[in-house]
Chains A and B, each alone.
Chain A
Amino acid sequence: MSHGPPGEGAHAEPNLTPLLDVVLQLLMFFMMCVNFVNEQVNEDIKLPKSQAVKPMDKAEADYLFINLKPFALADFQDRLPSDVLARVQEKFRDGDECILVPGKEPMRRNELRVWLKQQFDDAKQLAEQRGEKGVKTAVVIRGHKDAEYGQVFEILQLCKNVGYRRLLLRALTKNSPGGAT
């Protein structure tokens, strides 16, 4: 550090380096937090809150995400290319059941069935090649809080009919006790 050479009188300079170190550490911390939160999460889905949910198991990697929400055009307005948007607009009215799967256009239930079947068959083939028994993939259903019970039920049923054996529901953790009314 630059302490003035002896004899030149008081050359007071604040020592900034450790401060910078700490700041960079903090910066790193917040950046990492932000990254974790954004992983695989569809922000449009407002999950219901629940006290019964358990923290996620990070060790498990084989997930299939199905997001369900009532359709709202505003969700897609600025995010999709115009041709896709036109197609989506034609297919859905506001409030319709809309199924969102990462990396795919919004789907209806019958499209989901086809897609799920395909995914399941692929997974099955892969599992057989590896000599594993059955498909281990867990289907994670992220239902918007305004979605209807009937819709969620149909999707659960669909997953089961296709052959998936592990179904998970996502919700936000609510820690205040006795909050259910």
Chain B
Amino acid sequence: MTIRRKTEAGPEPTLPITPMLDMAFQLLAFFVMTYHPSDLEGQMELSLPSEAITQAQDKEDIKPDAPVDKDQDLKLAANITVIVRTQRDNINTGFISGISLQDDAGTTAVDTLDKLREELKSRRANVENKENIKIQADNKLKWEEVISVMDVCQQAGFKNISFVPPPSGS
């Protein structure tokens, strides 16, 4: 703003806006460039690993692959288990090498995640627990792959996902 005294002629005291604007533009450019409207972080609530398994694990020395006995297994609320395997050949280690579905009737192999989605959707109609599902992955499977399997389960309509300890020797 300019404050003018009408009586005296003299230098007008002005606020130097231009350099300030220059600097503001510089800063603006910096922040615009460093601003990544990238993927936001989200979270998912986890259904806890079932009680039956945890009890067996209370002593650390018991291996996570200890077989869960039948009676306890029946208490688990989920009917379907998705089993995800990986190879250990240094090249494909950590990536999915095989998917299968296990339920009371037995185990069926599925080729791809898309097939898994279809299969889960069709099976979901017939199971008692329409919300719960278990995932059992190999020890070495990458977390990224586990998340993608979780995605598929959720897309098929299973809201509560719980994890089963990795099998022995995986």
Residues of A within 8 A of B (CB): 1-2, 5, 16-17, 19-20, 23-24, 26-27, 30-31, 33-34, 37, 41, 47-56, 140, 143-150, 152-154, 156-157, 160-161, 165-174, 180-181
Q: What A residues does B123 contact at CB under 8 A?
A: none
A171-B42, A180-B151 known; 13 new pairs, CB 8 Å cut-off, are A16-B21, A17-B17, A27-B31, A48-B143, A145-B142, A148-B140, A149-B139, A153-B166, A157-B54, A161-B58, A165-B48, A169-B46, A173-B40
Closest residue on chain B to residue A150 by CB atoms: B139
9 closest cross-chain pairs (CB), A and B: A53-B42, A30-B31, A150-B139, A145-B144, A172-B39, A52-B154, A48-B144, A2-B2, A149-B137
Main secondary structure of the interface of A (DSSP, over half): mixed
Contact A140 B138 (CB under 8 A): no
Q: Which residues on B are within 8 Å of A, measured CB to CB?
A: 1-2, 4, 12, 14, 17-18, 20-21, 24-25, 27-28, 31-32, 34-36, 38-46, 48-49, 54, 57-58, 64, 94, 112-114, 117, 137-148, 150-152, 154-155, 163, 165-166, 170
Check if A170 sits within 8 Å of B41, measured CB to CB. yes
Contact of B41 among A47, A51, A148, A161 (CB under 8 A): A47
Q: Across the interface, which residues of B come within 8 angstroms of A56, CB to CB?
A: 41-43
* A140-B43 Cα distance, complex, nearest whole Å: 8
Residues of A within 8 A of B148 (CB): 48, 50, 180-181
Indicate which residue in A30, A144, A161 contacts B35 across the interface (CB closer than 8 Å): A30
Q: B24–A23 contact, CB under 8 A?
A: yes
Q: How far is the CB of B88 from chain A (nearest CB, A)?
A: 11
B25 pairs with A23, CB closer than 8 A: yes
Assuming the contacts A1-B2, A48-B144, asked whether A173 and B39 have C-beta atoms less than 8 A apart, the reply is yes
Chain A residues with Cβ under 8 A from B42's Cβ? 50, 53-56, 170-173
